Structure 1
């Protein structure tokens, strides 16, 4: 059983005794690192083998649980049909404060108020434990979830006495859920971030973690990989897609599946920007189909590579006999076509000859913190003004108090005096190696070609055509593993591009008027920094 930081702190205090004359003071046993250090940074950690998680031996225990995190909606009579509440329009005052409190949908433009709930958005968790090592993996139906809020989940779990060495919190990146980052409030420049709602997510997630932990059972692990190329499109050149739909299914002692981890890279945006109903988009149908096919099981979905841009836009939905699209982008029919199609592909793979079963899976993880210098001054301005609700750090790696951020000049970003702090994780479940990335990575930074070369191009007219191509992350993972990419893990830092393909200034490389992506990126330093730090996490 892994030991919590609070337990280890108590142990250290007990061992801090006085030595007698002539005695050498005993060295206190080293303990696990704190959840966050005095500088506000998450310490590096590797398990098993480190203090607090010395061994991963014995039974492979798995638990699963889910909690809806759908916010309360205050519906209103939209008398003028303009899509927003106006003074004088009757509304349902759910919280009784006498004011209309809107829920702002994230992912497209600001000012998109939720009018109804089509399906719940969820916090779904998988817990895994073996010997001294215990982890939690969380999937939230949200556009993004910043690292400081991830840390709150870890701190609250420890405060509740839950014994985890590490908790990963990911977001599916649905474009039809509430704004948890701040960019999509009532109007551009008005934050949609609500502290009370974030707190409720933390509480419900920790409650789910506790339930999953209590219900852990000995498990075997079935792995399968599927493809559904008709369901995902790449809207940015060069076209590079990781087609993998990875599933890890956990079987009880009778051989019955009780939990499924599904990972696929495709933007949950089939509903489009005109939708005003809260929904987890195609993810709802994907999980529903898997859970219907495997009664008594719970599915946790994580997003794979999203950058590039992996999307439902541009596919042919529900093709008829002539091949025509009969469920266009912006409809629930399209979301169902995509989600159910991916689920059925996963089911065929799980029940096909290519699936493998590991009777004795192992558990391990690595965690590494790092800083990156943001070069996107537009996003930096939103952070410093408090619209984007996230922590930043000084050049010395110290947390800048939130109340001081607004007094920082934008030049401090350009001069490298303001840094973004974040983390990388490598989670190993049996032969499955989950590369946990804090943003939406372009597949070129992930995939290795069959001949061992890179997909990264060095196009003429890009901003950094002489940049040295980064080492793809797959090339850094240990040999013999099943490599799986997870995006928006423990943070949400936007698109992560190869520096050689970064193309913000004219003349442009691929299209006359440029391509979408750079404007929602931390900047051109993110790709090389992230890949370098990932290699360092694996000692390479």
Structure 2
């Protein structure tokens, strides 16, 4: 009889252990967002200097998703701005380092991607009254850093089990072009996270196009076509939706500028409809495990203008012969993500995806940093190429792209 009871107890213990192991393997996600509209006294980023906001067309957001698989965890943050710089990411990490997220979490495991709207505040410094004054509002930046950290904390408090579906399609053939008349990546890649009831918690959508319809046309706050994307995704799917900007350098632009604000929103809702339609034929991820790798790097600064902007306090950052930044490579199951610290030419986005195994592929332009255009070396060697004088004037130098690819290749090999 004792032997029989011991057998039952042993069986129950083994069953319990098996259940705990299964629970650890469940992927959890939590989401949060907050409005980050700037004051009307803020300078507008994009186009000419010395422009200030006169109103709000639609709100800007910081949106956060925290992922946890029982072992690994990280946070993915999107910001509706022209491009958050690396030093602001470091400030967010510093705040998170003082917080208890309730799960094992390293503040190093924070990824930030900017949507690059040209109808948001100057968070870089280039669009003040003139080139002798920074356009950054330090009070607003303190607010933005604080809000971003708080949203990570809130998202971590809302973790729930999730199943993940993915899909891909193409979009924008009639309104998006590489005006340098070179490669273009029209892919739309989507991950959708569903709760136990099959309801949408979160979606991540990766697409590449400058949000510049409203640039120099309106002086109101707006996420540009991304606002229409947000609105349509929320309307049809519920839950939260992060827009992950792709490789837009060299130079991916809307080609039908001059349309009305309502039509701009329709461009974004069309992107949402393409993503939702693709998800109807989507597949489930085979794995829920998370993996995260990052590498701090020093990019060579060949363009003297960057050093002068830093020396003059226009860009409040240390820039010498090199500038410190960071690249990340992470995965959610078989979905792979890699960051580019600026506006990379599509060729570098395509090369990055070629390093990834089969499965959903995401390239996060303006990820972790916003170091201008990262274009082919050809543009430095041949200034007769389309838009070469402007693109190279806003670039660190001709070696940035090749060096970035070397770093990403090493991270990809380490990751896999």
Q: Quick check: TM above 0.5?
A: yes
Alignment RMSD, CA only? 1.8
Partner Cα distance (1:333, 1:168) in 2: 32
Larger Rg computed on CA atoms? 1
Which residue in 1 is equivalent to 2:411? 537
Write out per-residue CA displacement over residues 136-159 of structure 1, whole angstroms, 9 at most, x where no aligned residue: 000000101111110111110121
Write out per-residue CA displacement over residues 71-121 of structure 1, whole angstroms, 9 at most, x where no aligned residue: 232xxxxxxxxxxxxxxxxxxxxxxxxxxxx21000212111111011111
Partner Cα distance (1:330, 1:533) in 2: 41
Shift of 1:311: 1.1
Which residue in 1 is equivalent to 2:176? 232
- State how 1:115-514 maps to structure 2 within 5 Å: 115-162=54-101, 163-165=104-106, 166-228=109-171, 229-237=173-181, 239-295=182-238, 297-312=239-254, 314-315=255-256, 328-329=257-258, 331-351=260-280, 353=281, 355-358=282-285, 360-392=287-319, 418-447=321-350, 472-477=351-356, 479-499=357-377, 501-503=378-380, 506=383, 508=384, 510-511=385-386, 514=388
Partner Cα distance (1:243, 1:194) in 2: 35
Q: TM-score, normalised by structure 1?
A: 0.69
Write out per-residue CA displacement over residues 5-59 of structure 1, whole angstroms, 9 at most, x where no aligned residue: xxxxxxxxxxxxxxxxxxxxxxxxxxxxxxxxxxxxxxxxxxxxxxxxxxx9511
**Which has the higher relative contact order, 1 or 2, with Cα contacts under 8 A spaced 6 or more apart?**
2
Partner Cα distance (2:390, 2:258) in 1: 19
Shift of 1:515: 5.5
Shift of 1:287: 0.8
Q: TM-score, normalised by structure 2?
A: 0.89
Write out per-residue CA displacement over residues 453-499 of structure 1, whole angstroms, 9 at most, x where no aligned residue: xxxxxxxxxxxxxxxxxxx222333x223221111111101111122
Which residue in 1 is equivalent to 2:16? none
Shift of 1:359: 6.2
Q: Does the 8 Å CA contact 2:131/2:314 hold for their aligned counterparts?
A: no
Higher relative strand content: 2
Structure 1 residues not aligned, in runs of 5+: 1-55, 74-101, 316-327, 393-412, 448-471
Q: Does the 8 Å CA contact 2:85/2:370 hold for their aligned counterparts?
A: yes
Structure 2 residues not aligned, in runs of 5+: 1-22
* SS in structure 1 of the partner of residue 97 of structure 2: helix
Higher relative helix content: 2
* SS in structure 2 of the partner of residue 538 of structure 1: helix
Q: Does the 8 Å CA contact 1:270/1:281 hold for their aligned counterparts?
A: yes
* SS in structure 1 of the partner of residue 316 of structure 2: coil
Partner Cα distance (1:266, 1:424) in 2: 21
Which residue in 2 is equivalent to 1:60? 27
Q: How many residues align?
A: 387
